[in-house]
Structure 1
Amino acid sequence: MFSLCKGLLFFYIAKLFKPIGVFSTLKIKLIFLVILLTFSLQTLQAQIFSSSKKDEQRDEQDSSSKFSLKNIPSIPFEINKNALEEPINPNKYYLGPGDQLVLSVWGEIDKNLPLAVSPDGFLVIPTVGRISVRDLTLAEATQKVIQEAKQKYINAEVTLTLTNLREIRVTISGMVIAPGIYTATQAMRVSDLIPMSGGLQTKDNLTVEEIEFMTKLRKPIRESSLRNITVQHLDGTFERVDLEKFYSTKNSELNPYLRGGDIVFIPQREIEKNSLSIFGAVKLERNNVEFIEGDKLGDLINFAHGVTSDASNLNLELVRFKNQNEPEIIEISLANLDFKLKPDDRVYVRKKENFHEKYQVWVTGEVRFPGVYSIVEGKTTITEIMNKAGGITKDASLAQTTLIRTQVEQISDPEFERLKLIPVVDMTETEREYFKSKSREINGAVVVDFTNKDTYETKESVFLTDKDILDVAQKRNTIRVTGQVSSPGLVAFESNKGYKYFIEKAGGYTENARKGRTKVIRASSGVWLDADEVEKLEEGDTIFIPEKPERDYYAIFKESLIITGQVLAIVVSTIVIYNQSK
């Protein structure tokens, strides 16, 4: 729009300039006015663009804040209110308005009378009358109704059956995502109400900014309490709910059924204060479990779902604060489950030493039965394991067989790790040599001469340990020739032949071959050797012929002339100075 307006203004200016000659005063004023309008439009466009950018940034900030964890609207979790975890307990279920029942009479006459509890708490039974069942359990109401009905149906059998549960209204408040009033049934427990209200408020519901802000102000991060929930009934009585204990013990007394008009309050708790922890040989290590006065060692072990099979029968270790800052260690018997705990106690359950340790090794490669074999660590020999594996095959190469100690392999070399981060050109000569040798090294390899059984059978250092890998290599029957030869590749191995024989078999040297730097790389160790120093090649070895470095002879000649000229200049200057000094 602004571009169109500016275009029209410039067209009008051009039209004013079209007549050749002396401009009139009116035309000059019009031209000045049009130019002024053009700049005003430009300024207005810049202001509107800047304002729109600010609005976009504000919208982005608003949208980012809208999509934070805190501002995501909670969606209460819908559950099937008619689903029952177990049959209704008539001694615990309280009848109330809306409950539907059937009074059945058998005898002289058979009849089923559908009934419903009236809003004022009565059952109206034809031919029997009004019977109050207010604040009565199902068992109490059944006894009362049958007793009244028997007066009318003397010789008949009378039963009262609950057919449909009424819906009740309960309130939940405190540390939940969506506190409010919800519809439930009396077959639901307190734990069923929590997901209906969106779940508990936890640290996960806070944004990163809120956590950082509270940390800076050294404010404690609070979460919902699972162990201090209170339920207030209409009659003014209270019940304390301990869901943490209920989940670990399944004691339903700790998670009661809801009643109409109940008010459930979820308090908050401070994380890492007034808590208990248990570690070690337990099925689930627990940290910062909420402490409740009266907690015992057995309760904490239940929170961890019990000890594991490798838990030591010896004393447990309990760390407790004697005062504000000084901890003390207390030894407790695992059998003393009634030992009373205090806030911030930490319990460590020791494991049995070497309990069911599974020492085993892997045997791979050219053996008859590759696989995993059990060993007695530090006692089982290589020969024993090879015999268990059925011995080596005809294609096995003992010279290239390796024993890898994986437990050593996991130990890192800080110096080697440091050198990995440094460019090779920036290394010193010693660092470069160390880096090259470590790069060629087989990590965790145990030095064993497998071609000489007597050697490794008498050395304690080669007794097998847990998780060793014994890899019996396959015969290669070849020598690899690579680098500057006419036909690089594999050449059939022949004993008692020197490296030049295999180079000839590979077509001989190329013109760019650097013959004096020929190397032999041992298959068994990866060591690089000068070819002239190798007395005997082994199958699987590699012969490497490097390429001559490219040289710019003109540049070398030019550099030589420059250096020669500089040397001559120094010599001449020295002679002149010497002669003048005489």
Structure 2
Amino acid sequence: VGRILDRYSNRLKISGAVFRPDIYEWVAGLRVADLVNKADGLREDAFLDRAVLIRQRPDLTREMRSIDLGKALTKDPQHDLLLQKEDELLISSKVEMTDSLKVTLLGEVHVPGDYHYITGMTLKALILNAGGFTDASSSTIEVAHLIIRDTVVGTDARSSEIELIRLTDTLSFSQLDIALRPYDVITVRKKPTYTKPETVLVVGQVQFPGPYALNSSQERVSDLFKRSGGALPDANITAAYIKRFKSDEERKRIAEDARRLQLLFADSSATVLKDLEKEYNRIPLNLEKILIRPGTIEDVVLQSRDELIIPRFDAQVRVSGAVLQSTQIPFNKGAGFRYYISSAGGYARDAWRKSAYVIYANGKSATARRFLFVKSYPKVLAGSEIIVPKEPFARNRLTTGEVVGLSSALASLAGVVIALLRL
């Protein structure tokens, strides 16, 4: 026995602003007003000017008809339509229709955003509802009223009408008793000279580490260093650097660069993606030179959230990468680049010698240079790290065992081919 199909052929549905929205039985001769009475009548918020009747055609597609609900309830035959099976009557609510109206508040208020429009709403009530003005608010408020028209008259193609309000006192709301309209956009302008205090941080071996408020938009490293009381005896000022956090715009730019590289080259974006993971950039400083000649181009202008780092003196040199033993070696003032490589056991077999480089404690780097037959190595300072990269093709180089195995396989294959040719 097959399963009984869930099909209905004698029902009506009414929803919206009635007391009992539900599904009702269809009977011949039933009209719109009769269905409303079955649902115990209209609620107080029912919208009488228009209701929607959704009707199902014989091919099960649907059509929509608009009716004047007020006239339907007075038995007007043009609107009190005779209902058919599967008809659905939708009656709108004035409250729901009003809730769809809004005004938008932007700018220097505590809670900007969209607000539901209520009949009789004033600018004063809206701003109070938004928590009032911020400290940055100016005395100028702009109200844009929507211009509703069916056609453009002449050359006037404006979509809104602008009303400017200039307050004599932002603490007084007497000038704000202005009626608002649906879809108004209110903008509270910012004071042209207002800027929030911006802070930076000094970390490390100084007399007074901690946060500092910037005196001006042009304050430099030398100014901040003096305010921090100067360096302690164990400070390494040659290792000073700035930690500058990346902005959202910079992160987006780096992500876009990585995406482009991925499209062009399979593996070229690895370095860019690694850079994207870092939350900040490291700006190396020549603090000794900055203190001698403040205000020069090397005396970096500070930005909000910058951190000036003055590390403790580190009497070690790190050696890592393609050497026999990655290690730390005590700093020897008279020793050079090759001394530290030798102290780490020398280069490994896959070392890319000409690309070895030094990263200094302040983040700056230097590599070896060659002029004709003379090769000069970078100077090594306390706290530096020497990095020897691997040759890029070293990973693809075959070992002796792999060469022997490949040769044997080729010889066997050649023997098979010769045997087949002799057949």
Q: TM-score range by the shorter chain?
A: 0.5 to 0.7
Aligned to 1:270: 97
Question: How many residue pairs were aligned?
Answer: 304
Residues 87-126 of structure 1: per-residue CA shift (max 9 Å, x gap) = xxxxxxxxxxxxxxxxxxxxxxxxxxxxxxxxxxxxxxxx
Name the CA distance, whole Å, in 2 between partners of 1:304 and 1:435.
43
Aligned to 1:386: 225
Name the CA distance, whole Å, in 2 between partners of 1:434 and 1:285.
41
User: In 2, are the aligned partners of 1:440 and 1:527 still within 8 Å (CA)?
Assistant: no
Kindly indicate whether residue 200 of structure 2 is the aligned counterpart of residue 361 of structure 1.
yes
- Following TM superposition, by how much is the alpha carbon of 1:459 offset from its aligned partner in structure 2, in angstroms? 3.3
Kindly indicate whether residue 379 of structure 2 is the aligned counterpart of residue 536 of structure 1.
yes
User: In 1, are the aligned partners of 2:104 and 2:115 still within 8 Å (CA)?
Assistant: yes
Name the CA distance, whole Å, in 2 between partners of 1:350 and 1:415.
30
Name the CA distance, whole Å, in 2 between partners of 1:177 and 1:387.
78
Higher CA-based Rg = 1
User: In 2, are the aligned partners of 1:409 and 1:444 still within 8 Å (CA)?
Assistant: no
Aligned to 2:398: 551
Aligned to 2:127: 301
1:457 alignment partner, one of 267, 289, 295: 295
Q: Which has the larger strand fraction?
A: 2
Name the CA distance, whole Å, in 1 between partners of 2:298 and 2:208.
26
- Following TM superposition, by how much is the alpha carbon of 1:177 offset from its aligned partner in structure 2, in angstroms? 12
SS at match of 2:144: strand
**Paired amino acid for 1:537:** V
User: In 1, are the aligned partners of 2:358 and 2:378 still within 8 Å (CA)?
Assistant: no
Aligned to 2:111: 284
Kindly indicate whether residue 163 of structure 2 is the aligned counterpart of residue 330 of structure 1.
yes
User: In 2, are the aligned partners of 1:402 and 1:472 still within 8 Å (CA)?
Assistant: yes
Q: Are the structure 2 counterparts of residues 312 and 397 from structure 1 closer, same or farther at C-alpha, using a change threshold of 3 Å? A: same
Q: Percent identity of the aligned residues?
A: 19
- Following TM superposition, by how much is the alpha carbon of 1:412 offset from its aligned partner in structure 2, in angstroms? 1.7
- Following TM superposition, by how much is the alpha carbon of 1:399 offset from its aligned partner in structure 2, in angstroms? 2.2
**Paired amino acid for 1:516:** R
**Paired amino acid for 2:143:** L
Name the CA distance, whole Å, in 1 between partners of 2:96 and 2:206.
63
**Paired amino acid for 2:95:** Q
Q: Are the structure 2 counterparts of residues 526 and 420 from structure 1 closer, same or farther at C-alpha, using a change threshold of 3 Å? A: farther
**Paired amino acid for 1:522:** I
User: In 1, are the aligned partners of 2:204 and 2:311 still within 8 Å (CA)?
Assistant: yes
2:143 alignment partner, one of 318, 336, 346: 318
Residues 175-216 of structure 1: per-residue CA shift (max 9 Å, x gap) = 9999xxxxxxxxxxxxxxxxxxxxxxxxxxxxxxxxxxxxxx
SS at match of 2:231: coil
**Paired amino acid for 2:385:** T
SS at match of 1:411: helix
Greater relative contact order (Cα < 8 A, sep 6+): 2
Aligned to 2:326: 488
Aligned to 2:25: none
- Following TM superposition, by how much is the alpha carbon of 1:542 offset from its aligned partner in structure 2, in angstroms? 2.0
Q: Are the structure 2 counterparts of residues 515 and 307 from structure 1 closer, same or farther at C-alpha, using a change threshold of 3 Å? A: closer
Residues 452-498 of structure 1: per-residue CA shift (max 9 Å, x gap) = 12345333972333332211122221111123444321101112312
Name the CA distance, whole Å, in 2 between partners of 1:482 and 1:369.
35
Name the CA distance, whole Å, in 2 between partners of 1:506 and 1:380.
44
- Following TM superposition, by how much is the alpha carbon of 1:363 offset from its aligned partner in structure 2, in angstroms? 0.8
Name the CA distance, whole Å, in 2 between partners of 1:472 and 1:489.
24
Name the CA distance, whole Å, in 1 between partners of 2:286 and 2:325.
34
Name the CA distance, whole Å, in 2 between partners of 1:269 and 1:417.
44
- Following TM superposition, by how much is the alpha carbon of 1:441 offset from its aligned partner in structure 2, in angstroms? 9.4
- Following TM superposition, by how much is the alpha carbon of 1:280 offset from its aligned partner in structure 2, in angstroms? 1.9
- Structure 2: give runs of 5+ residues left out of the alignment: 7-15, 22-62, 65-92, 150-157, 168-173, 370-374, 411-423
Q: Where do residues 228-267 of structure 1 align in structure 2 (5 Å cutoff)?
A: none
2:239 alignment partner, one of 400, 413, 431: 400
Name the CA distance, whole Å, in 2 between partners of 1:492 and 1:485.
17
- Following TM superposition, by how much is the alpha carbon of 1:505 offset from its aligned partner in structure 2, in angstroms? 2.2
Aligned to 1:514: 351
Name the CA distance, whole Å, in 2 between partners of 1:425 and 1:540.
39
Kindly indicate whether residue 254 of structure 2 is the aligned counterpart of residue 416 of structure 1.
yes
Aligned to 1:503: 341
SS at match of 2:211: strand
- Following TM superposition, by how much is the alpha carbon of 1:554 offset from its aligned partner in structure 2, in angstroms? 7.3
Name the CA distance, whole Å, in 2 between partners of 1:369 and 1:490.
31
User: In 2, are the aligned partners of 1:448 and 1:456 still within 8 Å (CA)?
Assistant: no
**Paired amino acid for 1:336:** Q
- Following TM superposition, by how much is the alpha carbon of 1:320 offset from its aligned partner in structure 2, in angstroms? 0.3
Residues 335-357 of structure 1: per-residue CA shift (max 9 Å, x gap) = 52222222322211122234362
Residues 414-446 of structure 1: per-residue CA shift (max 9 Å, x gap) = 5632454578796289x6698499679995444
**Paired amino acid for 1:468:** D
- Following TM superposition, by how much is the alpha carbon of 1:448 offset from its aligned partner in structure 2, in angstroms? 3.5
SS at match of 2:206: coil
**Paired amino acid for 1:465:** Q
- Following TM superposition, by how much is the alpha carbon of 1:358 offset from its aligned partner in structure 2, in angstroms? 0.8
**Paired amino acid for 2:380:** L
**Paired amino acid for 2:229:** G
**Paired amino acid for 2:379:** K
- Following TM superposition, by how much is the alpha carbon of 1:544 offset from its aligned partner in structure 2, in angstroms? 2.9
Q: Are the structure 2 counterparts of residues 426 and 331 from structure 1 closer, same or farther at C-alpha, using a change threshold of 3 Å? A: closer
Kindly indicate whether residue 297 of structure 2 is the aligned counterpart of residue 471 of structure 1.
no
Q: Where do residues 422-437 of structure 1 align in structure 2 (5 Å cutoff)?
A: 427=265, 435=272
- Following TM superposition, by how much is the alpha carbon of 1:528 offset from its aligned partner in structure 2, in angstroms? 5.8
**Paired amino acid for 1:403:** I
Name the CA distance, whole Å, in 2 between partners of 1:475 and 1:302.
57
SS at match of 1:471: strand
- Structure 1: give runs of 5+ residues left out of the alignment: 1-43, 59-172, 179-216, 219-265, 563-582
Q: Are the structure 2 counterparts of residues 540 and 463 from structure 1 closer, same or farther at C-alpha, using a change threshold of 3 Å? A: same
Name the CA distance, whole Å, in 2 between partners of 1:175 and 1:450.
78
Name the CA distance, whole Å, in 2 between partners of 1:467 and 1:433.
28
> Cα RMSD between the aligned structures?
4.3
Q: Are the structure 2 counterparts of residues 305 and 516 from structure 1 closer, same or farther at C-alpha, using a change threshold of 3 Å? A: closer
